[in-house]
Amino acid sequence: MKRLIKRGLMFGNLIRVDSPALIARYNRALEKLSGRTTTLTEFHIDISGFSPEVGEEFGDDAYLNPGGCNRQFIILTVDQKKAPLLNASFSTSRGILKQFMAQHEAKLFALTAHDAVAGELENSVYAVGEMRDVLAIRKISVVADTTQSHVANARKLAEKIDHFQTAEGAWYDDQLIDEMIDLARETGDVTRVPVDLGTPTYEQGNFWTSHFGGVYVFRDAETPALITAGDRTQLKGAPFDRFYDLDDVNGIASFLKKNDLVEPVIKARGVDGARILRQKMQFMLVDAATNAGMDLGDMSHRTLRRIANRLAQSRGLPEAFRGLAAMVRWAEAGGKWPRIDSRHPSYFYTLRARPDHPDRDLINQLLSELAPMDVRQLFICHKQAFYGAYATWPDEKREFVAEFLHRDYMANKAGARERLFGGEKTALAESPSARNPWNSVKQDQEALREKLIDVVGPWGAIGRRR
């Protein structure tokens, strides 16, 4: 994994914690949540405050995620909103944390100037024993406060201020006034700088969970279904009519089509579909070559093309490669549309999630597991699966993939995502199934209105004099 870490492909964008003040705040929050503290003088944290170094010290990578169903978090800085979420149990968790931090950025900035904010993504389930427990998680509430209870004290002060202003005779209550002064010393002026984070609640509709070997839950689809990468018998008792294994390609293809969740890459608007498919073919070629023990040489386009010719002569090219090649020929030279159905190994490589679908990222994650030789999509959409696959590859393939991702993806991540999956503005960021009133139709309309104002002014278009 060293070449991934060196190129920023693993543990990238983590926040470094190395000052005694921040470490002391982290330890206060950690002790409050788990009863433990770290002796490390330097470590890195993700968006939830989880540190792989602290996890290694404790021998427990779930020290902030006990039971895998109520994620705890520690916020030392609002910069954590840009960090990834490691060891995620639910695909919605990072999106919820990111939305929470964006909503309350000013308050969190003020609070973390003096203390750490500790909290939990709470739901009604305390342990996951069977799939019914996972499906019982419908709503997730974010509960947070500093280690010195600034938020709770601010609520108390706000209540006392309201009582002071409305209750008869409160102006003469010396005890009430003294209590308000004492609380104000801790919280500051809550009438001018509110620090109440509230308890926002988010709905978890369609999502992926790492429990039971990895399960995709599409319960808000027109025809609900569970798709599992693990043992299907573990889903017994779940209130669903449709269950699919990842090997049930016909069933999954029918599900995706029936619910209008995907589109062919080659026909997608605004993208060079043929180029994308050619890159997928390159990944397949590298996989076939390294499995056959062939030397990739300088890994240049010319060398890979020579390897493709050798594999073609020995009938060593994967059938999926041939299917994508036929589709590229159709796109670039015309002719008959190649009939590639779900029984063909290249089928899922030809698809992407509809860019305007609210669960776009979840669908692309599923497709990355169905088309695992597309290492770029696997890395972008499902890093846990990518790291697991990477550990099994020949060393030469690891070098090729690490260098390709470093050169092609890391140089322009936003551009690569838009080119492959569609513009970010067409889908909710990170985890669209984690919805709350903040992501409402009214807000979308307001955003459109502001955009129009930027273009034509607040009074509408003004015609030019002729």
pLDDT at position 429: 37
pLDDT average, residue stretch 396-423:
91
What b/e sequence results for 72-82 when a residue is b if at least 16 CB atoms lie within 10 Å of its CB, and e otherwise? bbbbbbbebbe
Average pLDDT over all residues of the chain = 85
pLDDT at position 125: 87
pLDDT at position 12: 86
pLDDT at position 124: 80
453 pLDDT exceeds 60?
no
49 pLDDT exceeds 80?
yes
pLDDT at position 189: 54
Beta strand residue intervals within 159-289, DSSP E? 201-204, 207-209, 215-218, 225-228, 243-245, 262-264
C-beta of residue 76 within 8 angstroms of C-beta of residue 47: no
pLDDT at position 185: 67
* Token digits of residue 241: 């009519």
Q: What confidence category does residue 411 fall into, taking pLDDT thresholds of 50, 70 and 90?
A: confident
DSSP 294-332: ---TT--HHHHHHHHHHHHHTT-S-HHHHHHHHHHHHHH
pLDDT at position 149: 74
Task: Check residues 305 and 95 and name the one with the higher pLDDT.
Answer: 95
CA–CA dist 353, 261 (Å, integer) = 6
């990739």: which residue's tokens?
A: 296
- Residue 307 φ then ψ, to 5°: -65, -40
183 pLDDT exceeds 80?
no
pLDDT at position 430: 41
CA–CA dist 178, 314 (Å, integer) = 88
Task: Check residues 144 and 152 and name the one with the higher pLDDT.
Answer: 144
* Token digits of residue 319: 């059938």
Nearest to 353 by CA among 278, 290, 441, 417: 417
- Residue 99 φ then ψ, to 5°: -65, -45
pLDDT at position 192: 53
- Residue 136 φ then ψ, to 5°: -75, -15
pLDDT digits (tens, 9 = 90+) for 343-366: 999 999 999 999 999 999 999 999
